[in-house]
Structure 1
């Protein structure tokens, strides 16, 4: 029999959606399907757990092309021509094919770019002063070469982070478009959307606000006599990459789709722009910082599959010090490995046709378009930023995100889950009180509040020369006490306390007496619900008869909480406990106890 044309798995009968749901319902054993299996994203979109051929999925058009020549950027602070050039040549030697020069001072173009093949290497510039003279020199230097890259004058970024729009930069931008006419692959207009996501926005907001700022800037440049075609041909967008892998893939695809829609409103069917994706500040941590390497890798993968043209991956230690040669090299290697060894960028649009990603993309595009239209109907980007509508909308999402992190429902490895208890962190690196200015956007790490809580611990250790000890006192049912001890170890470890491994006792009475006499500052009772019902009150009474100063907690969710609290229990730790609220309370009591011992 000839099996060449036989459809794969055709010997197996197809399974209908109804059959899948019957099996899932049985396996859930009465649990709510939507609550357990449907992912409710903060974009307001609900994503189903499975798809079959019966599902009708809208396939977006104009989602971009997977870059066959992905630009792997490294950012270099050019304080002078010689040092900037040396760092650039070293980066190129290490496999980097794109350089972003951050022009701190005025640097001669020929000094900065000597030895760099502009036909092969993409060069971009963040310019804060002397923009026109520098660009004139750049154009003269690059004459006859295929200059590729972009200029970023901080036009939109500066406005949303300071609240002041620099009108003179519109004139500068118009002049840049004219100066770079001979270089179609060099973009004179950069519009940034990174500030939105890095200030806590969701993906829908990032797309809508970025496109709205495009319309605002297009109108401004049109007034200066710049044709719309030239504006769109000179566009480079900087977008941040978040941690929600599939949603981020969909975000970039949806952005490309909606950019085409916006262009069509200006009667443009064909234009050339670039998208440069940058790993986000929001998702990074300074505790267990090596985890940032994993975050950067998944973010980079999402951007490449989402059809970004360029990629800027921050060094894993950038959030707390100047990146070293090692961390910069590792960051550059991420994109190189993805492109050369994992074949990302070697296949044209590999995610096209994936039911899940197509649905993510189309739903994000739908939501972003609705928000974009609402902004335009309400006066546009500038009006909505001036009256703080955009800032308020972002603040609402940011607060939701921070609540999920504080409740540990959104896990951040090394921050609110799986802390590295062997790690010591310099107190000066940890954030202090967080203040938000409602009038502007402030890019920040999502971990700042937890860092501030950890800082309290480190300052306590510095002032008392004692790191508080946590004892996990377990007894009773073996399975449950082990599980709850493991949970408590992970939960309390976020505080920076010295958390000892579980200590098992023969029974509640022995556990209470021994833990009350130990050198620990915090004791967490770990056992089963049945054991708690039978012995928790006795444990607490015995414990408090010996020691009234220690913090006494219980791992679990007992029903008789009022009775336990009246007996002397300080609190509980469980899946619903807010880590910031709980640990702040623990810190206050431990701090009071240690300070009294000093006196």
Structure 2
């Protein structure tokens, strides 16, 4: 056989699951396989670390196809028709092929869309009032063009964020379906699921509740005489994109699969909906905000591989100011690069047939279908929202997510790990903390509580004109002291304190004496467990003999904690420390010390 016909890796013998497990078990040296290697997601699904030909997979049907005409959206806030038109034309010149106009009040369609080629550019509209009148003008203006896009009146999103369902919106939807009947590529009904994920829900909940709300709308429109086929042909779904890359890919695939099942129950075999994916609010930060660019990139990748029709990437600085020309341009360039240079959306979907992706998709679909049926059994979407079942289920997941973030088990760069210590943040930009209303959904950043803690530091700096200094006093075993100093640097840096680089001393006695006399407000002892056993108590006593005001911490998990606390240790920082609880305690003592010096 010629080399060109030789199968890839044919020189290597296949490895069975049994052989792989034997090797892994040996390498783990007694550690628990499930705890170390099995990923437990908050959807209630466990993901195995390895898949091979021995694993049986069930490939979902109707998972969608990679969009060959992927829409790269940009949001345009319309103050006046002329100003909105200018921004839209600029976006098109910058390579954007889809505009989402946010309308407040009546505007001239001709003035808004003048100079925009509707054969090439997709135009969509977010409009809360006057949708019928606007759409009449729109279809009159579009005439025989291939109008593409959607209109979103907020029929679902307004309900879940305010708690009040506007029945008039159903009448509006009926009229919009009639008005756009000659434009099959323009969708008159938008069902939003972004509010679920952005309020802390998991992917299973986002899928299930979105489909529950769809059934609710279908029934409402049927009562008004709209044919079910017309409803499904007029649907645009707007879903958020989270940070769990592979799970998000699978989420969109599972959603398409379950949508087909719901349609089939209504006797609809073929339909033409669209899915617009939007980067989430939940995952964004205002500290080290440029990191949002990386988050947006992976989010866009997972959405495109999940077979969406359009992607809306928010500017990285949107969470704390009006996006600049630069940040808007960069956001649009992300999808352009993925589509034109990385060939996302230009080839057959590369994730199809992947054992991992197929299994995750199947498991998410099964879980989402189970939850969907449970909500329908209890009376459906409206009943479940009115009695706060949906809100409570999301709140349970949100609290679990926030706990994992606070414990740093879910790392978020620039938020709870790897803070940018060179950065200064305006106190007015920082949140005062999350205040959730149990009756409605409130889209929010996951970082609000950590921002509130950072705000305390910035307020302290404003009040005292002093940014607290943290000294990392290390001695003893070289490897361990450096590792623990690096950990403490990262951990405490989240607070906004001025954390200095590790300062090494020849002995514990010298470290205690010098750090007690330094100008630092917080001192962290950094060494090995053996060194702590031998010298930590004496270090603390020597330190406290010189200084009783400073916060004294230890990096690690000593066994004799009671003895160390009695000697004068304020606390420890280690892998099990809760960043909010620990840093709040540090702030409290530093505040007391600095304010006493002012008197």
Q: TM-score, normalised by structure 2?
A: 1.00
For structure 1, which segment, 206-215 or 340-349, has the greater mean C-alpha deviation from structure 2 after superposition? 340-349
For structure 1, which segment, 432-441 or 582-591, has the greater mean C-alpha deviation from structure 2 after superposition? 432-441
- Paired with 1:558 and 1:352, the residues of 2 have a C-alpha distance of 50
Residue number in structure 2 paired with 1:565: 565
- Paired with 2:6 and 2:89, the residues of 1 have a C-alpha distance of 54
Structure 2 residue 448 is matched with structure 1 residue 448 = yes
- Paired with 2:151 and 2:13, the residues of 1 have a C-alpha distance of 57
Residue number in structure 1 paired with 2:21: 21
Structure 2 residue 561 is matched with structure 1 residue 525 = no
Are the equivalent residues in 1 in contact too, given 2:105–2:130 (CA < 8 A)? Answer: no
Residue number in structure 1 paired with 2:158: 158
- Paired with 1:87 and 1:150, the residues of 2 have a C-alpha distance of 19
What SS does the corresponding residue of 1:307 show, helix, strand or coil?
coil
What SS does the corresponding residue of 2:117 show, helix, strand or coil?
coil
- Paired with 1:488 and 1:523, the residues of 2 have a C-alpha distance of 10
- Paired with 1:117 and 1:225, the residues of 2 have a C-alpha distance of 35
- Paired with 2:198 and 2:4, the residues of 1 have a C-alpha distance of 52
Q: Which runs of 5+ in 2 are unaligned?
A: none
Are the equivalent residues in 2 in contact too, given 1:80–1:105 (CA < 8 A)? Answer: no
- Paired with 1:447 and 1:504, the residues of 2 have a C-alpha distance of 34
- Paired with 1:348 and 1:172, the residues of 2 have a C-alpha distance of 38
C-alpha distance after superposition, 1:431-479 (max 9, x if no partner): 0132110000000000000000000000000000000000000000000
Are the equivalent residues in 2 in contact too, given 1:526–1:555 (CA < 8 A)? Answer: yes
Residue number in structure 2 paired with 1:53: 53
Q: TM-score, normalised by structure 1?
A: 1.00
Residue number in structure 2 paired with 1:188: 188
What SS does the corresponding residue of 2:5 show, helix, strand or coil?
coil
- Displacement of 1:359: 0.7
Structural mapping, 1:293-304, within 5 Å: 293-304=293-304
C-alpha distance after superposition, 1:12-68 (max 9, x if no partner): 211100000000001101110000000000000000001110001111110001000
- Displacement of 1:206: 0.1
- Displacement of 1:501: 0.5
- Paired with 2:24 and 2:285, the residues of 1 have a C-alpha distance of 37
CA RMSD of aligned residues (A): 0.6
Structural mapping, 1:294-373, within 5 Å: 294-373=294-373
What SS does the corresponding residue of 1:239 show, helix, strand or coil?
strand
Are the equivalent residues in 1 in contact too, given 2:288–2:423 (CA < 8 A)? Answer: yes
Residue number in structure 2 paired with 1:512: 512
Residue number in structure 1 paired with 2:122: 122
What SS does the corresponding residue of 2:156 show, helix, strand or coil?
helix
Residue number in structure 1 paired with 2:135: 135
- Displacement of 1:528: 0.1
Residue number in structure 2 paired with 1:213: 213
- Paired with 1:69 and 1:152, the residues of 2 have a C-alpha distance of 21
- Paired with 1:510 and 1:226, the residues of 2 have a C-alpha distance of 82
- Displacement of 1:566: 0.7
**How many correspondences in the alignment?**
599
Residue number in structure 2 paired with 1:99: 99
Structural mapping, 1:439-588, within 5 Å: 439-588=439-588
Residue number in structure 2 paired with 1:288: 288
- Paired with 1:2 and 1:47, the residues of 2 have a C-alpha distance of 40
What SS does the corresponding residue of 1:472 show, helix, strand or coil?
strand
For structure 1, which segment, 128-137 or 218-227, has the greater mean C-alpha deviation from structure 2 after superposition? 128-137
What SS does the corresponding residue of 1:155 show, helix, strand or coil?
coil
Divergent runs of 4+, >4 A:
none
- Displacement of 1:212: 0.3
Residue number in structure 1 paired with 2:80: 80
Structure 2 residue 432 is matched with structure 1 residue 435 = no
Q: Which runs of 5+ in 1 are unaligned?
A: none
Structure 2 residue 263 is matched with structure 1 residue 253 = no
- Displacement of 1:409: 0.5
